[in-house]
């Protein structure tokens, strides 16, 4: 019984490489010369040399993540072999692999990957003992799910059937995931439960039998349902503002350990022992110190008994259930004093365990512990070049907010200087339904090394401190939640630790919002702010959240305000920094990922435009190949180089001026001139399709294509063939390359109107066939022998839908100033999508086939969303498109040029 949910939070990537550092402080802090030497930012935020180690189930191998060809990939070595003997298992050059695991039988390494940060994850499998062919560097990474626009969850990795895993797919309904069993060898997906009951999660017992489901009701409450042969039966409920979930089963599978804070008598989350047949429960454990929620509960898969529970207080506390593990832990702690030690990956027989040891001034080391011989053996340090003796201790801090609520916080003071009159950077955590903890933190250490005090407050709405503390933040964005941050600043100023004229604020996600709110609502407190993927308008934020967040939508409305009610809308409007941007007085740096599905790029565009239009200085960085937080080190380091220089300029800390050439180049590429920022406008779309002014001519058109993906160029050949088919025309569009294989998109259209009649797509194991009528699209989407029906109503007539659409668009009456709209059917989203087409001018274009006069045609989504294409259409009446430039998913660029 191992429940894994692949919800990868937007994290800033980390990694090491030493370059010479120079300092350029604008206003050096007092006694700045006593500070330790500047530590290269790459040592904080570059790729770890080795990370994420896991043991194979049989203990023969150790896998880990290490850069390969400049990107983090999976490696494997024999357990007792040296790390240099390891071999790479993957060679992804587009995005780092951040998480993976072994299949139960150790035959496969499984990992998830998205495109450019869009958070639509697919599951890949690698056979580590695959025989490599000539010229093949790594085993083949098979895409087991192979879906577009779908986010895959992993619910269970069954021990009883090691060749399978249970996954969730939101292919049928974007808001809810159906439960499938996935065959790891064939990729075959078998539907287990169709999710028509708002199910957000499934629970399997020790024998991998599906036992429970968690239902999110429309009123925001949660039901735990028992899975019976005749249906789902409710056995427990948590109302809005409460939580309940199953942590595990007793060894006989008869009772469950239930995590709950339900009822007026409970504030802290505790463990109950419940009989699912009768519904009766009793308290198993609550924090004996009555301070914090249960943080974690660990079980032995060998004995099926609990090992320990964890409570995250100012520091972590263990409560041991298994005395033999407690003895082992005491032995480990004796050998590793002054650190927090954590058990990680283990073998099936639980003899070997990986143990990580970290502290506030040390990103840690990983050890192999043998429970049989009681030996602890060092394996690696993720950041061995980081000078830990120069890092600054993190201390706990508690202070009262504006209404008397006690706020727990962490404070990191720069090492080597007196704690007096220091510049401060407040660094609020994201979420906001999360919390900061004691331990190594790259951002606080990075900023402390630059001479700043760093405050990390666990403001109300932070998790872990009980239900009352969490719900004290309800509808308090920008209000009491912001006071909790502001009063922390006041506390440090009153103590003389912080210079009131040199206070900055910086944060990611909600921390980015808190930055904007701090500058807008308390403009006299801050001298500078850095907002990293922070929302500026809470109404547009809630209106653009991903569909698969539906399970938590009502709870978000309770926490933030319901945009569908006058009262809620008023709260959200008031709490949106965009609406108070005229109050901002401090300089602002905004950092954004173009593909962010949580905080859309428009959130940052809006605040940048508002400040720019009032003539206020604002700086803007946008990475086209990132989402909610940057995964690629080249992007994160470029953004942080700009941030530390920005903070030094306005707060007087120091910064590292030098940077490698690739970082400097990337910073130039992702720095946006605020003058160029515009908000996308929606375009009204006609229900009628545009009418061609010329005929689409039969023939063969050849193109050379280049796909640019994260610095890598992939050449492809493209052939479009137009042939007569009675009253219709068949258009076949084939693209092929050594890397992608052959992709064929064939569409049949009427001669007179070019309205689509039917379409067929073939790419490897994926086949799609559709038939069009005036009202709907029907067909099938198949993969590996499994077919899924397509049946969708159209919102208007379609045009230029399918392969060779550029040739179809070339038949329109193009001229200077011409514009129109048209619709396609988006197969990945299963809905109609509209586009706006505009002729923006006439240019001379040179391609392999020669030099041509061409109309320059721009095409953008009519709803103002991201994505664009530029087509160059021949003006000679030949009906050819000469060249196409497109920005596609993940920030990739594709250029097609007429070859002959």
Per the structure block, which two tokens stand in for 714? 């992939």
Determine which one of 177, 346, 628, 650 is catalytic: 628
Determine which one of 444, 462, 509, 580 is catalytic: 509
Q: At what angle do helices 442-449 and 633-651 cross, to 10 degrees?
A: 40
Contact 48, 31 (CB under 8 A): no
**Nearest CA-CA partner of 746 in 775, 764, 723, 778:** 723
Contact 137, 74 (CB under 8 A): no
Contact 191, 544 (CB under 8 A): no
∠ Cα 691 695 700 (to 5°): 130
Distance between CA atoms of residues 33 and 25, nearest Å: 12
Cβ-based neighbour number of residue 447 at 10 Å: 28
Residue 509 is among the residues annotated as catalytic for this protein: yes
Helix, strand or coil, per DSSP, at residue 701: strand
Residue 228 Cα to chain centre, angstroms: 35
Contact 38, 656 (CB under 8 A): yes
Determine which one of 328, 360, 441, 596 is catalytic: 596
Contact 467, 261 (CB under 8 A): yes
Distance between CA atoms of residues 694 and 752, nearest Å: 9
Residue 402 is among the residues annotated as catalytic for this protein: no
Q: At what angle do helices 566-574 and 553-560 cross, to 10 degrees?
A: 60
Convert 764-781 to b/e letters by CB count within 10 Å (16 or more is b): eebbbbbebeeeebebeb
Residue 177 is among the residues annotated as catalytic for this protein: no
The residues near 179 (Cβ < 8 Å, ≥ 6 apart) are: 155, 166, 167, 168, 191, 192, 193, 195, 199, 202, 210
The residues near 302 (Cβ < 8 Å, ≥ 6 apart) are: 349, 350
Contact 647, 655 (CB under 8 A): yes
Contact 102, 50 (CB under 8 A): no
**Nearest CA-CA partner of 331 in 359, 306, 355, 312:** 355
Report, as residue numbers or ranges, the catalytic residues.
509, 596, 628
């Amino acid at each position: 019984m191992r429940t894994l949910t692949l919800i990868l939070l937007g994290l800033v990537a980390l990694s090491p490489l030493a370059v010479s550092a120079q300092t350029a402080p604008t206003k050096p802090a007092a006694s700045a010369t006593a500070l330790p030497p500047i530590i290269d930012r790459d040592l904080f935020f570059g790729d770890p040399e080795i990370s994420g180690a896991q043991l194979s189930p049989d203990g023969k191998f150790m896998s880990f993540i290490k850069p390969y060809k400049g990107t983090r990939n999976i490696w494997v070595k024999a357990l007792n072999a040296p790390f240099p003997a390891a071999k790479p298992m993957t060679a992804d050059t587009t995005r780092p692999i951040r998480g993976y695991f072994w299949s139960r039988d150790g035959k496969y390494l499984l990992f998830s990957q998205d495109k450019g940060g869009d958070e639509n994850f697919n599951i890949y499998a690698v056979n580590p003992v695959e025989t490599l062919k000539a010229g093949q560097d790594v085993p083949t990474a098979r895409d087991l799910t192979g879906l577009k626009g779908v986010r895959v969850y992993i619910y269970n990795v069954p021990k009883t059937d090691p060749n399978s895993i249970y996954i969730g797919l939101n292919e049928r309904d974007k808001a809810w995931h159906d439960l499938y069993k996935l065959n790891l060898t064939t990729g075959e997906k078998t539907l287990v439960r169709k999710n028509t009951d708002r199910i957000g999660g499934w629970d399997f017992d020790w024998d991998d039998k599906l036992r429970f489901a968690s239902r999110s009701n429309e009123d925001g409450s949660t039901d735990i349902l028992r899975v019976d042969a005749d249906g789902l039966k409710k056995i427990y409920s948590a109302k809005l503002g409460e939580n309940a979930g199953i942590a595990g089963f007793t060894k006989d599978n008869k009772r469950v350990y239930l995590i709950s804070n339900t009822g007026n008598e409970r504030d802290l989350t505790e463990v109950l022992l419940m009989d699912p047949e009768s519904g009766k429960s009793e308290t198993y454990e609550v924090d004996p110190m009555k301070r914090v929620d249960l943080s974690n509960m660990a079980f032995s898969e060998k004995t099926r008994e609990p090992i320990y529970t964890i409570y995250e207080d100012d520091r972590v506390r263990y409560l041991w259930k298994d005395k033999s593990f407690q003895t082992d832990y005491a032995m480990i702690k004796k050998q590793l004093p002054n650190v927090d030690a954590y058990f990680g990956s283990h073998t099936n027989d639980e003899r070997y365990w990986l143990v990580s040891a970290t502290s506030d001034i040390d990103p840690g080391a990983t050890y192999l512990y043998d429970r049989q011989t009681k030996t602890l053996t060092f394996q690696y340090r993720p950041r061995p070049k980081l000078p830990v003796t120069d890092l600054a201790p993190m201390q706990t801090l508690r202070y009262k907010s504006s209404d008397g609520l006690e706020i727990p916080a962490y404070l990191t003071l720069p090492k080597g200087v007196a704690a007096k009159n220091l510049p401060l950077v407040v660094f609020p955590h994201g979420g906001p339904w999360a919390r900061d903890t004691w331990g190594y933190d790259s951002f606080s250490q990075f900023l402390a090394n630059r001479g700043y005090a760093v405050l990390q407050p666990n403001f109300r709405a932070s998790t872990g401190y009980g239900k009352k503390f969490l719900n004290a933040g309800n509808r308090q964005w920008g209000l009491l939640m912001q006071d909790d941050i502001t009063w922390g600043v006041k506390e440090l100023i009153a103590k003389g630790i912080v210079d009131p004229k040199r206070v900055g604020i910086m944060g990611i996600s909600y921390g980015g919002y808190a930055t904007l709110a701090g500058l807008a609502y308390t403009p006299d407190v801050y001298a500078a702010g850095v907002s990293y993927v922070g929302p500026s308008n809470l109404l547009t934020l809630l209106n653009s959240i991903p569909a698969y967040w539906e399970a938590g939508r009502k709870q978000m409305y309770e926490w933030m305000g319901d945009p569908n009610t006058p009262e809620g809308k008023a709260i959200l409007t008031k709490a949106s920094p965009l609406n108070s941007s005229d109050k901002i007085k401090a300089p602002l740096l905004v950092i954004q990922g173009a593909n962010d599905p949580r905080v859309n790029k428009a959130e940052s565009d809006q605040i940048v435009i508002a400040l720019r239009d009032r003539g206020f200085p604002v700086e803007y960085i946008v990475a086209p190949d990132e989402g909610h937080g940057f995964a690629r080190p080249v992007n994160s380091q470029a953004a942080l180089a700009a941030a530390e220089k920005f903070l030094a300029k306005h707060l007087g800390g120091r910064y590292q001026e030098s940077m490698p050439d690739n970082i400097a180049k990337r910073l130039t590429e992702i720095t946006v001139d605020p003058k160029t920022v515009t908000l996308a406008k929606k375009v009204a779309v006609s229900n009628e399709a545009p009418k061609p002014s010329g005929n689409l001519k039969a023939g063969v058109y050849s193109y050379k294509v280049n796909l640019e993906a994260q610095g890598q160029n992939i050449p492809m050949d493209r052939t479009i063939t137009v042939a007569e088919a009675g009253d219709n025309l068949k258009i076949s569009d084939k693209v092929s390359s050594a890397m992608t294989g052959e992709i064929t998109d064939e569409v049949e259209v009427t001669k007179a109107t070019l309205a689509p009649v039917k379409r067929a797509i073939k790419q490897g194991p994926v086949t799609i066939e559709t038939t069009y009528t005036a009202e709907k699209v029907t067909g099938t989407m198949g993969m590996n022998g499994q077919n899924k029906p397509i049946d969708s109503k159209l919102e208007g007539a379609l045009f230029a839908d399918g392969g060779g659409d550029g040739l179809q668009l070339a038949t329109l009456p193009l001229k200077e100033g011409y514009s129109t709209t048209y619709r396609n059917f988006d197969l990945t989203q299963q809905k109609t999508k509209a586009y706006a087409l505009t002729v923006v001018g006439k240019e001379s274009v040179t391609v392999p086939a020669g030099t041509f006069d061409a109309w320059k045609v721009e095409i953008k989504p009519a709803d103002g969303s991201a994505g664009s294409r530029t087509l160059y259409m021949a003006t000679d009446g030949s009906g050819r498109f000469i060249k196409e430039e497109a920005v596609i998913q993940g920030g990739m660029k594709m250029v097609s040029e007429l070859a002959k």
